Structure 1
Amino acid sequence: MITLIERASSFKDRVAIKSDGKNYTYNQLLAQSEHVSAHLLQDKKDLNLARIAFLVPASFSYAAVQWGIWRAGGIAVPLCEKHPLPSIQYVLEDTEATTVIYTEAFEQLLSPLFKSTNIRFLKYATITPKICELPKITIDRSALILYTSGTTGFPKGVVTTHANIEAQITALTTSWEWNKNDHVLNVLPLHHVHGIINMLSCALWSGACCEFLPKFSPKAIFDIFLKGEVNVFMAVPTIYFKLITYFNELPQEEQQAISNYLLKFRLMVSGSAALPVSVLKEWKEISGHTLLERYGMTEMGMAISNPYNETRRPGHIGQPLHGVSIRLADEKNQIVTAGEPGEIQIKGPNVFKEYWGKPEATEEAFTVDGWFKSGDIAIFDVDSYQILGRNSVDIIKSGGYKISALEIEEVLRTHPQIKDCGVVGIPDLEWGEIIGASIVIKSGKLFAEDLTSWIQEKLPAYKTPKKYLFQEDLPRNVMGKVTKNDIKKLFI
C-alpha cells in the first residue's frame, strides 16, 4: 500500500494544507482525493498505470488530484503552469496520457487540444462527491513522471515508483528531523521534485502543514513569516537573492521585526542550484540561519545534505543522506582517490526506475554495477562533498531549473532568419546562470527584442535567452565542433 496516504489517517483533524485563504485537514484531503479517484476510474477497478496528466495550481486541489491519481492506480504527470502549449503537448504525447485534469484558469490554454486529441479532459470543478472501491496499490508500482532536460535536447520523463518516493521522503524526514508541528511555506513550482517531495510530501508524511503561495512575491513571503506560523522554509538561491534585495529596501524597524521572527525558524534550506557564498552570508545576517545546502536531482530526489544539527560548510553540500550510497568515479567508472575530482554516482532505493520510453537512455545513465551517473563533478574535502561543476556544457542551471541548451538551439534554428546558433550558461549572481545565445543570421537584420518575443511563444520564460550575441560564425575546433567555452568567454 501507499504508506504516504495510509499515514494521513493518523493525523485526521490536523491541518494538512493552507491555500487560497483556507485550512484543509488530512480528512478532507483523503475524502477529496477519493472523489478524484472515483471520477477517474468510472466503471474500472484499476487504472493499471494509465498516465494521468494534470494542470492544477499549487493548492489543496493539486494535492487532492495527485493523491487521487495514485489511489486509482494511475501514474501522475504534473504539468508546468508556465509552459506554453507546445511544451505541454510534448509531455502529453510522450507519456500517451489518457486523461488531463485541469482547473478553469487553464481552460483557454488547453482548449485547442480538446477536439484535436483523443485525450479525456476532466475539469476539476466538475469532480463532485463520489465514492468507489479503490484498488490495492503495491509500492513497486510506477507513481510519477517528472520531465527533466538532458543532453539529447528533448526533455526526458523520469519515472519513480511509490517505493522510490517513500525512500526519498524518509531520507529527508529522518535527516532533517521533520515532525507534525512543522509548518512549511511552499513557494516553488509543483512539477519538480523540490516542491513535490522536499516540501509537500515530507510535510504530509509527518502530519505537518504545507502552506502554498501560488504567486511569488517577496512582500507576500515576509508577510506570511510575520504571522509566526511558518518554521520551515526552502527555496532556490534566486529566491533568497530577491528576498535579500527586498529586505534591504525596508525601513530598519520592519527589518528588525522580520529578523526576530526568522530567528525562531527550525530549518531553512537552499537547493536546486549552487548557492553563492555571498548570498549565504547576507541571509545569515538577516535571519541568524546558515542555510542548509543539499544536493539532488529529479532522478533520485535528494542524495547529499549538510547536517541538520552540526556545522554547515559554505560551498559544500555535505554528506550522504540516510539510506543513500555515494561514490566519486572517473570516466572509466573507477573510484577516484581521496581529494581527487570525480563524477558523483549514486545507489539506493531513492534512485528512479527508468526514463519513460527510453530504454537506451536509461541504460546509459547507469554503470554496469548499478550506480546512477549524475554528470556532476565533485571532490570529497575533509568531511563533505564540494561540487565543482558539470561534465557537460549543454546543461544550464538557472534559478533552480536544469535546462538543456540543445533544446533551445533546436527551437532557435527554426527561425527563418537564423543560420546557426550556440546556447550557453553565463555565470550570474542572482540566477546562478542566465541563458546566452550566440546567433548567426542568414541575411538581413534581427533584433534581440523581436527574437525574444518570437521564442517566448515556443518555450517557457525560464528557457528564454537573456542575452544575445550576433556573429558571422560560431567558434569551432579543427573537427568543426562548436566550442562553447569560447562562446562563454565572449559573453563574459
Structure 2
Amino acid sequence: DAFFERTGHKILERYGMTETCMNTSNPLDGERRPGAVGPTLPGIEARVCDKDGNVLGAGEIGVLEVRGPNVFKGYWQMPEKTASEFRTDGFFITGDLATIGEDGYVTIVGRDKDLIISGGFNVYPKEVEEVIAEYDEVEEVAIFGLPHPDFGEAVAGVIVAANGSQADTDEIIKRTQDKLAKFKVPKRIWVIKELPRNTMGKIQKAQLRKQYADTFTSPAA
C-alpha cells in the first residue's frame, strides 16, 4: 500500500520455488490482490490438502500441492526424498501452507515446518507477524514456536526496532491480546539488531528456534 501511494503502481506478487519455477501470479492487467499470489499460471494445477493428502475446500488452510510441466522430475540422486514429496497422481507437495479462494486466488500462510501447535491449537506465524508488524516501533518481526512443558510449543518471537524507537516488548505483547486469540499471543518477544537470513534473504527461523530453545524448559524458566 505504501509503495502504491508513492508510485501509483501496485506490486505484482507471484509464487514460485526452485523445484517448480513460477506457479501462480497476480495478473499483469487486472486485480492485483495484496497478500495473495494470484491464481495458477496456464497449464498449472494447484490444490490444498491435509497431511494425509485429502483435498480441502475453498478457504481452508492446508499444504499447497502443484502439478504441471513446470514441476521438476525429482531430486538428483535422492529417490527416497523424491518419492516422499510427490503424490501418486503427480502433485508435488510444496511444504507451503496456503488457502485457495473460490475464485482461485492463492494466499500463502507460511511454511508447514514453521506451524506452531500450542496446547493442541494451530498457530500460523504469519498471522501473528502481520499484527505486530503494524506497530510503529517495529521494523521487522519473526514469530516461531519453542518447546514448552505444558503447551507442547509456546508462541515466541523477535523484533527489529524501527530507527530511533524504544520497543517495549511487554507492551507489544499486551497490545496483541486485543487482536489475537489467547493461544496465539506470544509468551516472549526479544529485541535483536537484525534477523538472521540466508544468502537468498530468507529469515532463518530454525536458527532462532535453536538460539532460544531452552527458554521455557530450562530449570530457571
Report whether the alignment pairs 1:303 with 2:23. Answer: yes
Matches within 5 A, 1:37-48: none
Provide, for residues 239-267 of structure 1, a one-character-per-residue CA deviation record: whole Å limited to 9, x for no partner. Answer: xxxxxxxxxxxxxxxxxxxxxxxxxxxxx
1:318 aligns with 38
Q: 2:112 aligns with which of 382, 391, 398?
A: 391
> By how many angstroms is 1:339 displaced?
1.8
What secondary structure does 1:379 align onto?
strand
> By how many angstroms is 1:468 displaced?
7.8
2:96 aligns with 376
Report whether the alignment pairs 1:474 with 2:214. Answer: yes
Matches within 5 A, 1:259-270: none
> By how many angstroms is 1:336 displaced?
0.3
> By how many angstroms is 1:290 displaced?
0.6
What secondary structure does 2:4 align onto?
helix
Matches within 5 A, 1:209-288: 281-288=1-8
- Look up the equivalent residue of 2:90 and give its one-letter code: G
> By how many angstroms is 1:473 displaced?
6.8
What secondary structure does 2:23 align onto?
strand
Q: 1:360 aligns with which of 53, 63, 80?
A: 80
- Look up the equivalent residue of 2:20 and give its one-letter code: M
Matches within 5 A, 1:318-337: 318-337=38-57
1:291 aligns with 11
1:342 aligns with 62
CA pair 290-361 structure 1, distance change in 2 beyond 3 A:
same
Alignment RMSD (CA, Å): 4.3
% same residue: 38
> By how many angstroms is 1:302 displaced?
0.5
Structure with the higher helix share, 1 or 2: 1
Contact kept, 8 Å, 1:425 with 1:435, in 2: the verdict is: no
1:261 aligns with none
> By how many angstroms is 1:311 displaced?
1.0
CA pair 475-312 structure 1, distance change in 2 beyond 3 A:
same
Contact kept, 8 Å, 1:426 with 1:435, in 2: the verdict is: no
> By how many angstroms is 1:476 displaced?
7.1
2:147 aligns with none
Matches within 5 A, 1:72-471: 281-383=1-103, 384-393=105-114, 426=158, 434-435=195-196
Provide, for residues 37-57 of structure 1, a one-character-per-residue CA deviation record: whole Å limited to 9, x for no partner. Answer: xxxxxxxxxxxxxxxxxxxxx
Q: Distance in 2 between matches of 1:336 and 1:469?
A: 30
Q: Distance in 2 between matches of 1:284 and 1:328?
A: 31
Q: Give TM-score, length-normalised by structure 1.
A: 0.26
Q: Distance in 1 between matches of 2:98 and 2:210?
A: 35
Aligned residues: 149
CA pair 307-428 structure 1, distance change in 2 beyond 3 A:
farther
What secondary structure does 2:113 align onto?
coil
1:485 aligns with none
- Look up the equivalent residue of 1:362 and give its one-letter code: T
Q: Distance in 2 between matches of 1:469 and 1:391?
A: 15
- Look up the equivalent residue of 1:328 and give its one-letter code: V
**For the pair shown, which has the larger CA radius of gyration, 1 or 2?**
1
> By how many angstroms is 1:344 displaced?
0.9
What secondary structure does 1:392 align onto?
helix
- Look up the equivalent residue of 1:390 and give its one-letter code: R
What secondary structure does 1:435 align onto?
coil
Q: Distance in 1 between matches of 2:212 and 2:107?
A: 39
Contact kept, 8 Å, 1:323 with 1:348, in 2: the verdict is: yes
Q: Distance in 1 between matches of 2:161 and 2:102?
A: 27
Q: Distance in 2 between matches of 1:310 and 1:337?
A: 25
Contact kept, 8 Å, 1:292 with 1:306, in 2: the verdict is: yes
Q: Distance in 1 between matches of 2:19 and 2:85?
A: 10
- Look up the equivalent residue of 1:388 and give its one-letter code: V
Q: Distance in 2 between matches of 1:312 and 1:354?
A: 32
